[in-house]
Amino acid sequence: MARITINGKTIEVADTATILQAAKLHKIPIPTLCHHPKLTPFGGCRLCIVEVKGMPKPVTSCTTTVGNGMEITTSSPYLQELRKTVLELILSDHPNDCMICEKAGDCTLQNLAYDYGIRENRFQGERRTYAKRDNNPFVERDLEKCILCGRCVKACDEIQGVEAIDFGYRGFNSKICTSYEQDLDCEFCGQCISVCPTGALTGKLWIRKGRKDHQEEVDTICTYCGTGCTITAHVKDNEILKITSKEQTMNEGWLCVKGRFGYRFVNSPERLTRPLIKRNGAFEEASWPEALDHVAKRLVEIKAGYGADAIGGLSSARCTNEENYAFQKLIRAGIGTNNVDHCARL
Amino acid sequence: MTNSIREIEGMEVIFIVGSNTKETHPVIANRMLKARRRGAKIIIADPRKIPMVKFCDIHLQIRPGSDIALLNSMAKVILAEGLQNDEFIGEKTEGFDAWKASIETFTPEYAEKITGVPADEIVKAARMYGSSRKAGVFYTMGITQHACGTDNVSALANLVSLTGNIGRESTGINPLRGQNNVQGASDAACLPNVYPGYQNVEDPAIRNKFEKAWGAPLSPKAGMMSTVMMNEAAAGKLKALYIMGENPIITDPNMHHTVKALENLEFLVVQDIFLTDTAKFADVVLPASCSFEKNGTFTNTERRVQRVRQAVNPPGEAREDLWIITEISKRLGLDMENSPEKIFTEYCRLWPAIAGISYARLEKRGLCWPCPAADHPGTPYLYKDGFPKGKVNFVPVSYQPPAEVCDREYPFVLTTGRNLFQYHSGSMTRRVEPIESHAGEPYVEINPFDSKNLGISSGDIIKVRSRRGEIAIKARITPRVSEGTVFIPMHYREAAANVLTIDALDPQVKIPELKVCAVALSTAGP
Amino acid sequence: MTKNKTVVNVCMGTGGMASGGAEVLQAFRAELEAAAFPAEVKEHCLAHRVGCRGLCAKDVLVDVLTDGSVTTYQFIKPDMVPRIVTEHIIGKTPVAEWQVGEDYENFHQKQVKIVLSDCGKIDPEDPDDYHAVGGYGTARDVLTEWLPGEVIEEIKASGLRGRGGAGFPTGLKWELGRKARGDIKYIICNADEGDPGAFMDRAVIEGNPHAVIEGMIIAAYAIGAHHGYVYIRAEYPLAVERLKLAIERARRRLFLGRNIFGTTFDFDIQVKLGAGAFVCGEETALIASIEGQRGMPRPKPPFPVNKGLWQRPTVINNVETLANVPYIMRRGYQWYASHGTERSRGTKVFALTGKIKNPGLIEVPMGITLREIIEDIGGGIEGGKKLKAVQTGGPSGGCIPANMLDINVDYESLAKVGSIVGSGGMIVLDEDNCMVNMAKYFIQFTQEESCGKCVPCRIGTKRLLEIMERITKGQGKEGDLELLDTLSNSIKVTSLCGLGQTAPNPVLSTLKYFREEFEAHVRDKKCPAKVCKDLITYSIIEGACKGCGACLRACPAGAVTGEKKKPHKIDPDICIKCGACFEACKFKSVGRD
Ligand SMILES: Cc1cc2nc3c(=O)[nH]c(=O)nc-3n(C[C@H](O)[C@H](O)[C@H](O)COP(=O)(O)O)c2cc1C
Ligand code: SF4
Ligand code: SF4
């Protein structure tokens, strides 16, 4: 443990903690842009600088570990001025078209600009422009909004192990791209989208479907593999707009291509919407009472004719526990046979 | 899983057998990468150069179906080098000596002949796994979907017992469940031989308990497994089938056989969200709801019970499955609770291992069972305090060649599985536009060496034929498969791998041998 | 060197090679072979390739050592070789007219050569040559007779500081490396040398790669490393070739590899080629590059001595730093510390360039005055112009105005006036240099070389550059100078690595000493040095023009009109400001304003 003082307040934290972690733990705000708690520290945006007594210059709190007796100041006119300069520089190379940006309302850069009241910008100059190159079915990229925080690069490398993207070029022309701009070799997990703090990366599926406002968030479980990742469905007007996952979940907020993008079957026009009864080899729509009565009648007939063991039930590993429980209860107690199974072996 | 997913981070050695983790359980693979960044070593035994191979320390590229030879041989090396855990063997196991004698012949050199893996690689892997006391084993269908699936699992379990790598944090044996609620469906007893919570249907005391709880007489005789049901239907003995959310036409082996079975039924009810290939055979189709349209719980592969919450309403007149079941049940004279929470409460009352779980407790976070009391924190890893039956048994298993081996007519081994993008029979993922546009086409993976011999190039439509059927499919030339082996993903109905697969079953658990059969390849011709 | 031996040393550094050194050497070999010597004399007649001795402007330089005396020739071409052989080597009379002059003597007089002491004397490709002057013997002595801790103490006492730029005490760095916990440690020699205009490290490696290798062996022994890397830019093909050859030959003589010098100590060196990014000279970026990642700096701490290459303790030293080590160990810390000043001991190699009479590579004792370097060694300003300033430290450094010429050249004194010793670039500027333009050049360099990781450097230097461009184009605005100043200071404190932290230095120091020049650009839209094209106009001074037509013929744009013998005219709309007319006019009748 280390005893440190932040803004005059003495606290104790683990001596492996960074200043940023220590501050966060004690709810002391420090602005960040390139930092992501699940990724290795980067130190690129320079917004999280703090002053440490005895050090000649401000240090980045995301990369500096605490030391016993450290005296730290997280906010001062000098620091605010430096942070403002950095923000102005970022914004001087940013489209600033929040009014039509997907990320508005949920954008770290926008929030910081608001916090620091940046309307005028002392720095004007060239802005990067890119011709749109679009052959990615899942990820929408707007490189002009990219602030090169490097989070997507690290997510792709450290979390996903894919290394599909990296920094390329140098100086003002630096950009995130595949190495040597070769073809993209990507798993489309969308981890990169989930960590992008601005509107540079978005899911194609949810473009122009609505911004953060007026969405309802429902936490539920992914419908695909047995990992059972916790997902959050963003819903508006009875439609799922997008899927995200929160950092505190057992899956740490990471998802795969199916979990993140595979929800669109829900409103497929091919969904069954009416019960169907086959008559003379063709399906006819039926009402619920009609269909249910028919099913019950046939089951009773067959049981009467051949015994309960001539009936079987196959349940599903995609149905809930409650449904599975009720299903086997129906087969066992309602029909009277143990002929019930599911697809565990397939 | 005997461990929880989070514990993967703390493992020293991760041994993956027959699991294409990076594609079928990508987020678990992410944890494995995290462990690797912390210094964990990874061993993979798989016939294909699956994506995870990029991150492993040793890849044992075995011939399909030769797992037992590999595992027995690793055990032999561990014993030969004195790496076994004598204390664990002495205190917690039975049958060691007999088993030890049974693996006598499995020298690495002998195993090399069967598996195709160089003997010294087997030795290396055995040393790596055997010298760790914080190792986790992971497997999926690559182990179980064999005629010798049960034996495969036993061979793995023997290896685990030999080293005592179980019953501690970050140490255990972990089957990865393929579908999101396989664990839950099994727990809830959609199984022919047990009541909820694995309580034997043939035990009168237990049956008595359930008869009382459910207010109905229950059959004293275990039922049929799904694969048996299909055989019985084909034989005309099973007359009616109620299928809820399943698509056996695509997912079961030997499609022609499945078709025959369903056609033979007098009455088939299919409850699903799409008119699947199976639903087309039904007499009545009931429109159900998907997991975004209902409330309930799922239990994931680490035994974590988690809340499913309704996000949107089902379309049209489609209804929650639970409502449909209770409506039918009512008509059969059995009244059931119809709210998910009340059903869940009933379920928890009947199975002591989840007695401590309630919707209220699941609000924030899931709980891993066993969780016997309302103040119990759940159980991330199993067997901390010993094994349910006291001791674990060493089970001697011997190597048997797959049910169907290659011959001159069918010279290639076909193995099947999933890819990253599609899921199972594809009824959901194939209706997601970007997924379909990116990975919408069926393909067969062929080794470059084989394709050259056969004069096949990438993109050619070729014929793959087995004793059971034939499909036309696009060739994808890739070193991911080794020579003599081809791979077809199971998702594509237009070139369904299960037209080709064999319906040989494991004698005990009746799992079909989807991972090995013999096929022939030919260019499609005019 | 035996008395009766005749040796011809041909300068074959990159400069020498470019001037035809290889051909000269070839000519000497052929000529000596053919000459009618008695066999026993011929046996002792050798023609050698040697590295740079500094004065590249006079290449090819050739030393003839015979009868115990040295004669140096300059500007030698192959066709001059027969005469030297006939008259001097056989006839014993040096060819006086080709000998170097007084400036060659002056160039060397105030220099003190330690690092470069064997450069220009030994054959860099032959370890035996270096061995003959005591090389590798020092390492053997160190490994067999010294304890690692004693080596560190010796280096600490010598006062040697890092020559790569930052001037960190080398002994202390080694001590940290020795103390750092870890069973595997690395020593890296930084030979990236990305400073534009710097070529000290290249010359050392080309002239005496063995000193660097020996330095690395000693360093490795001191800190307990068994693996070494030399990170060298691929644009130095000759240096790379000689280095690889030297390592190969050292290995063959068991100076590298297992149980070197017959001790139990193992050490070997691997050469890694850099792609020529300036930022890859920064130690953490260099490490990332060796690891196969993009060369991007990482935040410090952790410092490489604790967590460097592959997260292992790693000591990184500059080429020149390491090349000093064998000499210090051979002659003792007191000898070394007797050169230089109290806090800056020893010597420093500089690449003296720009408007100087004798540009070249020099090694001077720390604390020498700038005046001595410019006037005595460099021979003063070229073409009788007036000295304006001296730029030191390249893109990370600053300028020292002419009125401060008596400043001592050492770490502290230069830092005090806003410049740095840096890696050793030294550019002499005269009245024809525009300071604004020079600062712009450096900021353009750093902007292009920024790795792009951090905001102040990536975007900040871009905005600095844009302001500088605006000013040199006559579009400077009120407030621009203040903006330059505040932005520069912000970049300095907020950038992640040394590149960004020092990038504004050229701007800040010129702003400090040459503010009027900036103001002239901004306020009067004039470039006093007449360099910034957009701010100068060419016109013909009517009374002076003789109408000779020279300007008309010289103008590539067709901007000059006029009839013969009558005053000409320049059309400012067509003029592209190339200055051809200005150069062409013999009567100084073209005005530049
Ligand atoms: C942008 C930048 C470029 C650098 N380039 C070099 C270089 O080319 N050669 C070098 O020796 N040091 C260079 N350095 C300094 C190194 O980071 C490091 O301090 C030095 O190699 C340490 O060796 P020394 O202590 O022997 O000087 C550079 C530093 C920065 C910030
Ligand atoms: S989608 Fe996943 S694999 Fe693809 S670039 Fe983003 S993080 Fe990498
Ligand atoms: S200061 Fe410049 S070179 Fe250094 S890390 Fe930042 S962007 Fe890269």
What are the tens digits of pLDDT across the range C540-580? Answer: 988 888 889 899 999 999 999 988 888 899 999 999 988 89
Determine which of C455, C486, C493, C496 to mutate to test the interface with A (most A C-beta atoms within 10 Å): C455
| Domains assigned to chain B | 6-176 (3.40.228.10), 182-368 (3.40.50.740), 412-523 (2.40.40.20)
Contacts with A, B 299-328, CB within 8 Å? 299-302, 304-313, 315-319, 321-322, 324-328
pLDDT at B515 over 70: yes
Q: Could A313 and B178 be called an inter-chain contact, meaning their C-beta atoms sit closer than 8 Å?
A: no
CATH ID of C6-100, from 3.40.30.10, 3.90.800.10, 3.40.50.720, 3.40.50.2300: 3.40.30.10
Q: State in Å: Cα C307 to ligand 3 middle.
A: 20
The CATH code for residues C347-430 is: 3.10.20.600
> Please, what sign has the CA dihedral across residues A98, A101, A105, A110?
negative
Task: With CA atoms as reference, report the closest residue to B344 among A318, A214, A323.
Answer: A323
CB of C59 shorter than 6 A to ligand 1: no
pLDDT at A132 over 80: no
What are the tens digits of pLDDT across the range B183-203? Answer: 999 999 999 999 999 999 999
CB of C162 shorter than 6 A to ligand 1: yes
Bridge partners (DSSP) listed for residue B462: B473, B523
Q: What is the pLDDT of residue B43?
A: 96
Contact status, residue C135 vs residue C261, Cβ threshold 8 Å: no
pLDDT at B105 over 90: yes
Q: Does B485 touch chain A (CB under 8 A)?
A: no
Annotated domain spans of chain C? 6-100, 127-337, 347-430, 435-524, 537-592
Where helices occur in C180-312 by DSSP H, the ranges are 200-207, 209-223, 237-252, 283-290
Say what the pTM is.
Answer: 0.90
Q: What is the DSSP string of B340-373?
A: HHHHHHHHHHH-GGGTT--HHHHTTS-EESP--S
Q: Does C449 touch chain A (CB under 8 A)?
A: yes
Closest Cα in chain A, distance from residue B499 (Å): 15
Q: What is the pLDDT of residue A122?
A: 94
Residue with tokens 């929030």: A111
Range B208-213 contact pairs with CB under 8 angstroms and sequence separation of 24 or more: B209/B350, B210/A332, B210/B350, B213/B346, B213/B349, B213/B350
Q: State in Å: Cα C186 to ligand 3 middle.
A: 25
Residue with tokens 């470039």: C527
Q: Which residues of A touch B326 (CB under 8 A)?
A: 326
Other residues' Cβ atoms within 10 Å of the Cβ of residue B189: 30
| Domains assigned to chain A | 2-75 (3.10.20.740), 212-271 (2.20.25.90), 276-343 (no CATH)
Class of the CATH-defined domain C127-337: alpha beta
Q: What is the ipTM of this complex?
A: 0.90
Residue C47: in which H helix or E strand, if any? strand C45-50
Determine which of A221, A251, A273 to mutate to test the interface with B (most B C-beta atoms within 10 Å): A221
Which fold would CATH assign to domain C537-592?
A: Alpha-Beta Plaits (3.30.70)
Q: What is the pLDDT of residue C2?
A: 44
Q: Could C490 and A82 be called an inter-chain contact, meaning their C-beta atoms sit closer than 8 Å?
A: yes
Closest Cα in chain C, distance from residue A175 (Å): 8
Q: Rounded to an integer, what distance in angstroms lies between the CA atom of residue C241 and that of residue C238?
A: 5
Q: What is the pLDDT of residue C101?
A: 87
- Indicate the average pLDDT of chain A: 93
Q: Rounded to an integer, what distance in angstroms lies between the CA atom of residue B93 and that of residue B85?
A: 11
Confidence of residue B525 (pLDDT cuts 50, 70, 90): low
Other residues' Cβ atoms within 10 Å of the Cβ of residue A329: 28
pLDDT at B516 over 50: yes
Give exposure, C424-452, as e/b (b: 16+ Cβ within 10 Å): bbbbbbbeebbbbbbbbebbbbbbebbbb
B458's tokens: 């990438």
Contact status, residue A275 vs residue B317, Cβ threshold 8 Å: yes
Q: Which residues of C touch A58 (CB under 8 A)?
A: 493-494
Which fold would CATH assign to domain C435-524?
A: de novo design (two linked rop proteins) (1.20.1440)
Out of B286-290, B491-495, C117-121, C549-553, least confident range: B491-495
A and C touching (3 or more beta-carbon pairs closer than 8 Å)? yes
What are the tens digits of pLDDT across the range B416-431? Answer: 888 888 887 787 888 8
Confidence of residue B270 (pLDDT cuts 50, 70, 90): very high
Q: Could B347 and A325 be called an inter-chain contact, meaning their C-beta atoms sit closer than 8 Å?
A: yes
pLDDT at B111 over 90: yes
Q: Which residues of B touch A331 (CB under 8 A)?
A: 242
Mean pLDDT by 10 residues, chain C (593 residues): 72 86 91 79 81 85 88 92 89 90 88 92 86 90 96 97 94 97 96 90 94 97 97 94 94 94 95 92 96 93 94 97 97 95 95 92 95 94 92 93 95 93 92 95 96 96 97 94 96 96 96 95 93 91 88 92 89 90 90 87
What are the tens digits of pLDDT across the range A64-78? Answer: 999 999 999 999 999
Q: Which of A158, A225, A298 shows the shortest C-beta gap to B25?
A: A225
Confidence of residue B513 (pLDDT cuts 50, 70, 90): confident
Share of chain B above pLDDT 70, in %: 99
Q: Taking residues B164-188, what's their average pLDDT? A: 91
Q: What is the pLDDT of residue A346?
A: 55
Chain-centre distance of CA A60, in angstroms?
26
Determine which of A88, A172, A180, A198 to mutate to test the interface with C (most C C-beta atoms within 10 Å): A172
Q: Which chains does B contact via 3+ CB–CB distances below 8 A? A: A
Q: What is the pLDDT of residue C53?
A: 82
Q: Which of B30, B237, B420 shows the shortest C-beta gap to A257?
A: B420
- Indicate the average pLDDT of chain B: 91
SS3 B314: coil
CB of C453 shorter than 6 A to ligand 3: yes
Q: Residue C454 CA: which ligand is closest?
A: 3
Q: What is the pLDDT of residue C33?
A: 85
Q: Which residues of A touch C449 (CB under 8 A)?
A: 170-171
Confidence of residue A344 (pLDDT cuts 50, 70, 90): low
Q: Rounded to an integer, what distance in angstroms lies between the CA atom of residue A195 and that of residue A197?
A: 6
Q: What is the pLDDT of residue A345?
A: 59
Q: What is the pLDDT of residue B492?
A: 86
Q: What is the pLDDT of residue C4?
A: 58
Residue type, C285: A
Q: Please give all residues whose beta carbon lies within 6 A of any atom in ligand 2, as ranges.
A: A 139, 155-156, 160, 162, 164-165, 186-192
Q: Taking residues B262-280, what's their average pLDDT? A: 94
Length of chain A measured in residues: 346
C500 CA: nearest ligand 3 atom: 1
Q: How far is CA C201 from CA B229, B256, C124, C377, in A?
A: 81, 77, 14, 20
